[in-house]
């Protein structure tokens, strides 16, 4: 208990002396605030990618891709695979008794943004029952495309970002013009980055193309294992069955990993600079309190409380700096729309990102305070008392 009283007394003394070293303390505060603001902003971009993929997951929707493929983006399936999926147990049927199953094809075409820059546009097509599978797509201008015709619908977000993709415009894909006959509202999903058309018509325009995936609605989420087991038991099928969440996570995995790597790499470099600023500030604090620390040591204060008090001063500077940096990132960037990897993403600053940044700031404070704390603890009492 005696040691705790010493520790709290030293922490209080260190806190009261911070205004006396305002310049050095502000350098530390600004450094940590900047690190946290940048880190939270970068992590918010990755969180936005994740939310884009997972916002509209359905527990009763599954995807079938080619065996060995990591996602629908590098999968190739033939017509016979689709035919064999139709009668598997667990597949839901509509009011007419048809299985709710839709093969899909996904590719990318070039577009010109309103800033006169080239950019990719998703070109998505699905079988006739696609509207029963993706119920979040609703046309708000014009009409839906007609099967058998070179017609497309476009998301509001793509129309607003690119030239020549408005209602009534024609878009060329593989040299063939397609007329845009409808605009659908933003869905907060991958569909916000796409043009959508009829699968069979699209495949006639891309002679080398095959199905990239098959989407299935199940009787219920509980039917997933039954369906997957039935597919696995069919020796003529070499496919992988994924839940909606697994399929979307596979698509974003590479981009999310890259964004997180860049975030932590930049955060580490900036964190080193902030730790050096904290190191300088806390060394200055120890130097300014040399006689005080020596006097306290001479009257019986232990080295442990001295170490903790110096580290605590670093944390006292780090915590409000982290909260300030997170607040700046939230005010400036939360919900802000950016384009990365061809996707329109709304950045999302959540509690998770703030907690990560807070831990980052605490680490900076501890690292920056470690050596000055050891110096204070090892300071010879007699030498310190002679200091001027």
pLDDT tens digit sequence for 150-161? 999 999 988 988
Would residue 94 count as lying in a domain?
yes
Would residue 7 count as lying in a domain?
yes
Q: Check whether 1 has a pLDDT greater than 50.
A: no
Q: Which of 237, 266, 289 is the last residue of a domain?
A: 237
Are 228 and 222 in contact by the 8 Å Cβ rule? The answer is no
Would residue 60 count as lying in a domain?
no
Mean pLDDT throughout 95-113?
89
How far, in Å, CA of 78 to CA of 325, rounded? 52
Mean pLDDT throughout 298-304?
62
Does residue 101 share a domain with residue 168?
yes
pLDDT of residue 180: 95
Does residue 222 share a domain with residue 173?
yes
Does residue 166 share a domain with residue 137?
yes
Does residue 189 share a domain with residue 100?
yes
Would residue 87 count as lying in a domain?
yes
Q: Which of 237, 266, 283 is the last residue of a domain?
A: 237
Could you tell me the two tokens for 372? 């000055």
Are 380 and 51 in contact by the 8 Å Cβ rule? The answer is no
Does residue 97 share a domain with residue 22?
no
Mean pLDDT throughout 27-46?
82
Q: Is 73 exposed, middle or buried (0-12, 13-18, 19+ CB in 10 A)?
A: middle
Mean pLDDT throughout 88-110?
90
Among 168-177, 244-253, 313-322, the range of highest mean pLDDT: 168-177
Would residue 331 count as lying in a domain?
yes
Does residue 72 share a domain with residue 48?
no
Mean pLDDT throughout 360-379?
70
Mean pLDDT of the chain: 80
Please tell me the pTM assigned to this model.
0.69
Q: How many domains, in total, are found in the chain?
A: 2
Q: Check whether 258 has a pLDDT greater than 60.
A: yes
pLDDT tens digit sequence for 83-92? 999 999 999 9
Domain region containing 96: 68-237
Would residue 246 count as lying in a domain?
no
Does residue 259 share a domain with residue 233?
no
Of 194-208, 230-244, 374-388, the poorest mean pLDDT is in 374-388
pLDDT of residue 128: 86
Would residue 15 count as lying in a domain?
yes
Would residue 243 count as lying in a domain?
no
Q: Which residue has the higher pLDDT, 201 or 50?
A: 201
Does residue 279 share a domain with residue 188?
no
Does residue 285 share a domain with residue 163?
no
Does residue 192 share a domain with residue 80?
yes
Q: Which of 237, 263, 288 is the last residue of a domain?
A: 237
Does residue 178 share a domain with residue 319?
no
Does residue 105 share a domain with residue 158?
yes
Could you tell me the two tokens for 211? 């199905």
């Amino acid at each position: 208990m005696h040691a705790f009283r010493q520790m709290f007394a030293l922490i209080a003394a260190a806190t009261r002396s911070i205004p006396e070293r305002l310049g050095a303390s502000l350098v530390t505060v600004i450094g940590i605030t900047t690190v946290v603001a940048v880190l939270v902003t970068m992590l918010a971009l990755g969180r936005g990618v994740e939310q884009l993929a997972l916002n509209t997951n359905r527990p009763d929707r599954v995807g079938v891709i080619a065996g060995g493929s990591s996602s629908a983006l590098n999968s190739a399936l033939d017509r016979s695979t689709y035919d064999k999926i139709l009668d598997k147990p667990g597949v839901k049927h509509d009011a007419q008794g048809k299985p709710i199953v839709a093969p899909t094809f996904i590719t990318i075409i070039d577009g010109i943004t309103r800033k006169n820059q080239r950019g990719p546009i998703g070109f998505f097509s699905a079988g006739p029952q696609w509207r029963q599978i993706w119920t979040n797509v609703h046309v708000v201008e014009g009409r839906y495309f007609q099967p058998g015709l070179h017609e497309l619908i476009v998301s509001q977000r793509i129309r607003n970002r690119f030239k020549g993709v408005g209602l009534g415009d024609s878009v060329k894909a593989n040299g063939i013009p397609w007329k845009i006959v409808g605009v659908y509202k933003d869905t907060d999903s991958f569909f916000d980055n796409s043009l959508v058309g009829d699968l069979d018509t699209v495949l006639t325009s891309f002679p080398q193309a095959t199905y990239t995936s098959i989407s299935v609605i199940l009787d219920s989420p509980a039917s997933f294992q039954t369906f997957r087991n039935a597919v696995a038991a069919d020796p003529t099928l070499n496919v992988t069955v994924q839940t909606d969440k697994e399929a979307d996570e596979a698509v974003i995995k590479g981009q999310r990993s890259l964004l997180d790597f860049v975030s932590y790499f930049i955060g580490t470099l900036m964190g080193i600079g902030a730790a050096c600023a904290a190191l300088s500030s806390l060394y200055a604090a120890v130097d300014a309190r040399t006689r005080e620390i020596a006097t306290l040591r001479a009257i019986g204060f232990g080295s442990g409380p001295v170490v903790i008090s110096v580290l605590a001063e670093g944390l006292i500077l780090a915590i409000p700096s982290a909260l300030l940096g997170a607040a700046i990132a939230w005010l400036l960037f939360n919900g802000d729309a950016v384009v990365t990897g061809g996707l329109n993403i709304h950045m999302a600053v959540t509690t998770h990102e703030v907690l990560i940044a807070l831990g980052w700031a605490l680490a900076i404070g501890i690292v920056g305070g470690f050596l000055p704390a050891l110096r204070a603890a090892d300071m010879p009492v007699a030498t310190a008392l002679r200091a001027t």
